[in-house]
Structure 1
């Protein structure tokens, strides 16, 4: 499988696209005015302790107080570290762990999403190319994505050669997926880098005021190199010379074997246009996703969950209905996995595949979904078909979805996705007129409304207006205003 990473840099926005076999799989966006906070370490102060929620709200200098749950502080503050494979200890009451007014060192694990503040942890982790440093832990672990047991053992042994006390006295380390196939010397370089970073953080922990960011994660282009680079990445193309130069310095220091992969794109045509990424992003903002078979997906993102409905559409198949349904569901399973990555959808996801009578078909569709999710960087958990024929799954969410990064709720419908009909608005106007007359004295009432509503009243409801004038004994005037949305109107007393 060939993979390319495309990086588009402008003064106010940076975008990274992951393209596999010519198809866009992931989009990451970072704007200068709204840079993400995940990975940043702050010196915070506890504002409120909430025993009923087993959590505390912490001031870290952001617009909203951040959320710190007891389960994210118990091991760090009490030294109760968990060895690899062990169950976590029980969580003590929150008031035994922190108190109001206490200063704490915290790391952001989830950006503010919607009306929720950032999610925090005191279990700090600092990533490098091949390792993750866990300053307050004593664990020595290997990423679960490295499945080969012999390779896991080799990497663990190589790290123990560099750090004889790792896993006993601390700090702890996790070997990342990128380390697969790498020699011990590569991890040694990362250890030196992480130790330098940690010394700077320790100094900031002592000297920084409350609300100060002690450690800030890398910019998006450098994070892309650190987190997205794999052996099957054939090219990394960046359209900014300045960013390219910084990336060259980073790649020469941390992954010199990948220098040849990095390439500056000097072309006049925008890099995302050249590879069709711009069009794919626009399609990812639509609810409807067409399938090659003629079927389609309908994706709805709500506050509570995301739902995916699979429809056969025009696909009739060649044998029978069960065969048609099975083939459509197989294709849909692949498409769903891609759309979750592309749209960065997280939390609870419900997939309504077309009903299948054959248990083996259901098993194969589920297997196809899990296989297609295997390359997803975010952690996913898929459950069996429910009695209603639904597949429930979860996908870890750390940042806003693509739609919520690029779009805002419709001002006309306030995000409902529907508008009141012209008839409904007309009758609301009539009720408001009656209400106003009973409360205030006036000879004439002026109705300001959008042109469509005024036209509806004049053409179809003129008799009703005449009856209302006779009933209230007042004159009603109508005035169209282009600035009003379909649901807006005002009744003015003259």
Structure 2
């Protein structure tokens, strides 16, 4: 499996694409006037405590007040470490309105919801995540090899002893640390220690709502978090960004410096690798499968639904084999689309009905296997009698559609609008209402071109009967700025 990272940096935004075996797997977009805040640490002020929700709203200086649940709050002892109580405390015991509190953004603001906060602070480096207020030392659950887990823990303990690291906070070994030595851990420990000293100094000095720590720019976070032995190339089209990445690689991952390549071609980097087209496809509802089937993806406020259809695929064997092949292909395509579109929350998958239980198990196994590559945590149920799979996928940032799209001003996000026929009948009812209320002999209807054309063509007979019934003359005027649903019926001289 070969991977490439493409980094496109402009004055307006940064975009990063992760390519796996020639296919786009993930796309990250950060606009410089609206960058995300996950990982940022704030000195905030509690503005409202909600006992019924066991939560509070905190002003951290963003457009919307952020949200923190009681389960994400830990009391701090005299030494600055989190206190784990056997009995959970209520939000009223933990916070009060007007109180200042140090918090970190765990999830960006999405749609109408504010950012999600936590008091469990973390600072990441290449191989470690530092927990400045905890004494816990552990390993990432994605490190599965038991011997490697034991070796890493021994190396980390050796580094902590060498650095005289006692009562100074905890660590979690990251997945990227596989194969590292005690010396590399020591470098990370010293870096994180210096970083926390600076952050803590800012916390102690500040007296008002402010940002005390900002995460690295997108391109630096991606290189830090995603680079692995499978990554063969990192292509960057910005000289300044390339220099920053090179310095980081030289300091922390020197064996990967040779993978970095400055792109200076005439053709835009994302055009060259077909990423622009993939992004546009990912904004559509329909995803075509190679077999001729398709996926229909609908994202709503509550959940995302994905419907699998055979489409034009009729297969060469019996119906059950056709359905199985389509569902197996769909399982792999769904896993990829979840990553590319960054869909999270509750997701309902509607596979084509399968009677054979073995076929159901094959499709379920294929879906689970395809999702193993996804860094976002997910939970999947079995296939129900209706052929549905319920799953959840962790959501920490807006989906691709939420970043790039805005609600349609015509249909207001419904995805449909009233037909010309429906609007014509609404106009007829409005004419009847106005005719009863006013004595004017002439009425003027202003509407869109498609509606006026229908009134004068398909509905002309009905219109003539209506004019005779109300004993009034009805005139029409095309209003080019009106949408299909808009119209006005006004009195005319």
TM-score (norm 2): 0.95
Verify: 1:19 aligned to 2:16, yes or no: no
- The 8 Å contact of residues 60 and 210 in structure 1, kept in 2 or not, is answered as no
Map of 1:85 onto structure 2: none
The partner residue of 2:120 within 120, 123, 147 is 123
Map of 1:303 onto structure 2: 301
Deviation per CA, 1:422-475, whole angstroms, max 9, x where unpaired? 111111122233334555665543222100001111112233334434444444
Counterparts in 2 of 1:81 and 1:163: CA distance versus 1, 3 Å: farther
Distance (Å, rounded) in 1 between the aligned partners of 2:346 and 2:165: 35
Verify: 1:359 aligned to 2:357, yes or no: yes
Distance (Å, rounded) in 1 between the aligned partners of 2:288 and 2:75: 47
Distance (Å, rounded) in 2 between the aligned partners of 1:364 and 1:471: 67
Map of 2:245 onto structure 1: 247
Map of 1:144 onto structure 2: 141
Please state whether the residue corresponding to 2:457 is helix, strand or coil: helix
- The 8 Å contact of residues 138 and 167 in structure 1, kept in 2 or not, is answered as no
The partner residue of 1:96 within 87, 93, 98 is 93
Deviation per CA, 1:214-240, whole angstroms, max 9, x where unpaired? 100010110111111111100000011
Q: CA deviation at 1:39?
A: 0.9
CA RMSD of aligned residues (A): 2.0
Deviation per CA, 1:142-165, whole angstroms, max 9, x where unpaired? 011110011111111111112249
Counterparts in 2 of 1:437 and 1:201: CA distance versus 1, 3 Å: farther
Counterparts in 2 of 1:439 and 1:252: CA distance versus 1, 3 Å: farther
1:44-443 counterparts in 2 under 5 A? 44-74=44-74, 89-164=86-161, 169-437=167-435, 442-443=440-441
* Stretch of structure 1 that moved more, 447-456 or 321-330: 321-330
* Stretch of structure 1 that moved more, 2-11 or 208-217: 208-217
Counterparts in 2 of 1:156 and 1:475: CA distance versus 1, 3 Å: same
**How many correspondences in the alignment?**
489
Please state whether the residue corresponding to 2:406 is helix, strand or coil: coil
TM-score (norm 1): 0.94
Please state whether the residue corresponding to 1:417 is helix, strand or coil: coil
- The 8 Å contact of residues 450 and 488 in structure 1, kept in 2 or not, is answered as yes
Map of 1:486 onto structure 2: 484
Q: CA deviation at 1:390?
A: 1.0
- The 8 Å contact of residues 301 and 307 in structure 1, kept in 2 or not, is answered as yes
1:465-476 counterparts in 2 under 5 A? 465-476=463-474
